[in-house]
Structure 1
């Protein structure tokens, strides 16, 4: 028998995939164009978990320079609508952009700065990892480590960007790799 958290996680993945394939035609990419739902492909096995995989924040080399990733190499994002350490991404936003949560204290990996790492509370009692005061998120359209398909998206009313190891947004354009918003 699977624990309820695993089943709930799989339900969230299904919801994200439905959200991505059902509403993606209304999203814009950083070039001002739109992604169509026909270009979307997602696998429930490859989607990020909202918790349990992000205990470590590290730096990783990418086409945009050194950016923040979790312990599995999954790209981490900030949401420009978050003007403090408190997340404004809830409901359907959090289904498409899962918050990076942790049960204990986050760990600092190679390239990350310990003094920039922290946590903030979410309404459900979870602890979301922050970096330089920015709540961190995954993008449901990133299918594997190194994907940066959410880069420059303006879904949910503001821009989403990867962060450098100083905790600043990186606003360059990333190559799309199979997902997208």
Structure 2
């Protein structure tokens, strides 16, 4: 009788232990699943927060076009403080660098950061107001990009221009030569406007000198 009772007690104890183990496993699994779910939601929220500033930045107006283009650049002519002036993407003024005496750009590195090249994918197009005699072309940059040329000279934007029609780069003497906006025929405009003070300081680290050359 005692042996039978011992065997029955052992079997009952084993059953209870198995039930407790199963309950523990289920509880642990649910807890882990809950933690994983919370972690996933938290990561998604953090990811969304991290992307929000960048997404907002891309939508901000008044930023000089510097991103890689996805198609042909288009130049047109708008009224500015300098008169009828040639502009590129989103109406930003384009400039000629007098140090560029050929189709090859001499503005790289810090210069290209202050004066972003007007880039294109494919042949650039003449938009509204551009004279019929203007010759638009392209030149390969040392960084591999394709830059727009006007009448055989590379053209650029100015990082100091904050909105369409600004001409803050007009007449500045930076990186060894002067910078001039262009008229509807592609010729440099040498007059100044109130929006383009000739005394604007050069960016840190620039080399200034006398400009030269023209169309």
TM norm structure 2? 0.59
CA RMSD of aligned residues (A): 2.5
Give the match's secondary structure for 2:79. Answer: strand
Alignment-derived partner of residue 18 in structure 2: none
Q: Distance in 2 between matches of 1:165 and 1:52?
A: 23
Alignment-derived partner of residue 83 in structure 2: 65
> Rg: which structure is higher?
2
Any idea what the Cα deviations from partners look like across 1:90-115, whole Å, max 9, x if unmatched? 01000000000012221210111465
Which runs of 5 or more structure 1 residues have no equivalent in the other structure? 2-6, 11-43
Give the match's secondary structure for 2:113. Answer: helix
Which runs of 5 or more structure 2 residues have no equivalent in the other structure? 1-46, 48-53, 202-215
Alignment-derived partner of residue 168 in structure 1: 187
**What is the CA-CA distance between 1:177 and the residue it aligns to?**
7.2
- Relative to its length, the structure with more helix (as a share) is 2
Alignment-derived partner of residue 104 in structure 1: 122
Given that 2:170 and 2:196 are in contact with CA atoms closer than 8 Å, whether structure 1 keeps it comes out as no
Give the match's secondary structure for 2:162. Answer: coil
Q: Which of residues 173, 186, 199 in structure 2 aligns to 1:154?
A: 173
Q: 1:177 to 1:128 in 2, by over 3 A?
A: same
Paired positions, count: 140
Given that 1:71 and 1:109 are in contact with CA atoms closer than 8 Å, whether structure 2 keeps it comes out as no
Q: Which of residues 74, 82, 88 in structure 1 aligns to 2:106?
A: 88
Q: Distance in 2 between matches of 1:165 and 1:151?
A: 16
Show the 5 A alignment for 1:115-130. 115-130=134-149
- The yes-or-no answer on 1:144 pairing with 2:163 is yes
Any idea what the Cα deviations from partners look like across 1:130-150, whole Å, max 9, x if unmatched? 111120100000000000000
- The yes-or-no answer on 1:78 pairing with 2:96 is yes
Q: Which of residues 52, 61, 64 in structure 2 aligns to 1:48?
A: 64
Given that 1:148 and 1:175 are in contact with CA atoms closer than 8 Å, whether structure 2 keeps it comes out as no
Give the match's secondary structure for 2:112. Answer: helix
Give the match's secondary structure for 1:103. Answer: coil
User: Looking at both structures, which has the greater relative contact order when contacts are Cα pairs under 8 Å and sequence separation is at least 6?
Assistant: 1
4+ aligned runs moved over 6 Å, structure 1: none
